[in-house]
Amino acid sequence: MIKVKLFATFREGRQKEVYFDYFEGIDGKYILDKLDIKEEDVAIYLVNGMDGKLENPLNDGDTISLFPPVGGG
């Protein structure tokens, strides 16, 4: 199972958390495609809290966090 956490405007019309069944080779690109999110709209892509690359294969149990461009404090 892959847990995907969505933040900010990515929540519009979607759930806060979405789950994907794990299969060998599943990656960030596949997940974005299924969620109908464009790659260029993603500002921060984290795999278990670390910066990830969309094309890298994921592991079973990974948590993904997706953010659009966001601000400072």
Partner 1 sequence: MFGYAGKILRVDLTSGTYKVEALNLDLAKKYIGGRGLASKIFFDEVDPNVEPFSPENKLIIATGPLSGTPVPTGGRYVVVTKSPLTGAIACSNSGGYFGAELKAAGYDMIILEGKSDKPVYITIEDDKVEIKEAGHLWGKLVSETTDELKKEHGEKVRVLCIGPAGEKLSRIAAVINDYDRAAGRSGVGAVMGSKNVKAIVVRGTKGVKLYDEEKVKDVVAAKIKMLRENGVTGQGLPTYGTAVLVNIINEHGIFPVANFQRAYTENADEISGETMTRDILVRKNPCYRCPIACGRWVRLKDGREVGGPEYETLWAFGADCDVYDINAVAEANFWCNEYGLDTISTGTTIAAAMELYEKGYVKDEEIKDDGYSLKFGDAEAIVGWTKKIGAREGFGDKMAEGSYRLCEAYGVPELSMSVKKQELPAYDPRGVQGHGLEYATSNRGGCHVRGYMISPEILGAPQKIDRFSLEGKAEWVKVFQDLTAVIDSLGLCLFTSFALGAPDYAELMNVVCGTDFTPETILEAGSRIWTLERLFNLKAGIDPSEDKLPKRLLQDPIPEGPSKGHVHRLSELLPKYYEVRGWDEKGYPTEETLKKLEIQ
Number of residues that bind partner 1 (CB under 8 A): 21
Q: Give all strands (DSSP E) within 1-73, no chain letters.
A: 2-6, 17-20, 44-47, 50-51, 63-67
Minimum distance, C-beta of residue 23 to partner 1, in the bound complex (Å):
25
- Closest contact distance (angstroms) between CB of 17 and partner 1 is 10
Q: Provide the 3-class DSSP secondary structure of residue 72.
A: coil
Distance of CA 59 to the CA centre of its chain: 13
Considering only 11, 29, 34, 53, the residue that binds partner 1 (CB under 8 A) is: 11
Query: Which residues from 33-62 bind partner 1, rule CB under 8 A?
Result: 43-44, 46, 48-51
